[in-house]
Chains A and B, each alone.
Chain A
Amino acid sequence: MADAVLFEFLHTEMVAELWARDPDPGPGGQKMNLSVLEGMGFRVGQALGERLPREMLAFREELDVLKFLCKDLWVAVFQKQMDSLRTNHQGTYVLQDNSFPLLIRMASGLQYLEEAPKFLAFTCGLLRGTLSTLGVKSLVTASVAALPTCKFQVVIQKS
């Protein structure tokens, strides 16, 4: 099995190499530049979703799916659970991690706040990809007020 540090270092290197490289820059500047990383996260999330045990795929409700992300997926990826899950019961969920592992070594407080979004794009994609495999279309964005706490907002797309 691969050590968790490997993923962390690989992720850092991917951010450094790929965050500014968008072959199709649209309006909105930097935000769009993260789409490459987000896209990679999406593909990884999709594949991880496919490898989940059968029993977990039989979710009845949307909330179960989100709970699954906070517990099982987060443990699998980051060896810890999400710290809190909130919802407005209208398809918007806020997942909060008080010490997000990919930010924890950077700073505690406001230093490097501007750099933080780059390190969240892949994980946003990961969540969106896993949801997609579980049959849920969504938009996932992340925000950081102070490192290393971050919030992932999941908006379910009704079809």
Chain B
Amino acid sequence: MSRQANRGTESKKMSSELFTLTYGALVTQLCKDYENDEDVNKQLDKMGYNIGVRLIEDFLARSNVGRCHDFRETADVIAKVAFKMYLGITPSITSWSPAGDEFSLILENNPLVDFVELPDNHSSLIYSNLLCGVLRGALEMVQMAVEAKFVQDTLKGDGVTEIRMRFIRRIEDNLPAGEE
């Protein structure tokens, strides 16, 4: 019995490693394909965006979270529900701007960067940039235009990993001009 239970957790751990390792293989491949890190960052963001626009449906279907009324509520849902569900971590929310339109997600341990060491010649590579794309894409599907970017990264020697989120505007439902 105990052996079986043991295997259960092992396979879960492996599926998490599968994702981390697959992501690593992707970044490695993109670094080979593109000459400069900026292009790799862009590509990761774009792929993340494409994932985000689909992931939001999975998230809404599974979480029973309704519409958020303000950006603070959105921040809570992202950190406490979404990150928990998909990556098994709960980032803390800090550094609200006075206007309440900007906050930071602090990731103590970023599962994407397990087993990763950044070589010196890739100093401008934002390794986990896929996450920013995912956040942007997912929020766009719920009518929020945001900007997400890494401002601190443990891979680059910072103490923590910090994603800065900035609310840009609410996306209005698109009605053709002159029609109601």
Interface residues of A (CB under 8 A from B): 1-7, 9-11, 13-14, 16-18, 21, 23, 36, 39-41, 43-44, 47-48, 51, 53, 72, 75-77, 79
Contacts and interface: CB of A to CB of B under 8 A. Distances in A.
Contacts of A3: 85-88
A89 B10 CA distance: 31
23 contacts: A1-B12, A1-B13, A2-B15, A2-B111, A6-B51, A6-B86, A9-B51, A9-B54, A11-B22, A14-B26, A14-B47, A16-B50, A17-B43, A23-B32, A40-B22, A43-B25, A43-B28, A44-B18, A44-B22, A48-B18, A48-B21, A72-B7, A76-B10
Interface residues of B, number: 36
Given A2-B15, A2-B86, A2-B111, A10 B23 contact: yes
Q: Name B's interface SS.
A: helix
A17 B16 CA distance: 22
B124 interface: no
A39 B22 CA distance: 11
Nearest to A75: B11
Contacts of B10: 53, 76
A2 B47 contact: no
A7 B51 contact: no
B37 interface: no
A23 B32 CA distance: 10
Q: Name A's interface SS.
A: helix
Given A1-B88, A5-B86, A76-B10, A10 B19 contact: yes
Which 7 A-B residue pairings sit nearest by Cβ, starting from the closest?
A: A76-B14, A1-B16, A2-B19, A40-B25, A76-B11, A1-B88, A2-B16
Nearest to A55: B3
A36 B28 CA distance: 11
Given A1-B88, A44-B18, A79-B11, A13 B25 contact: no
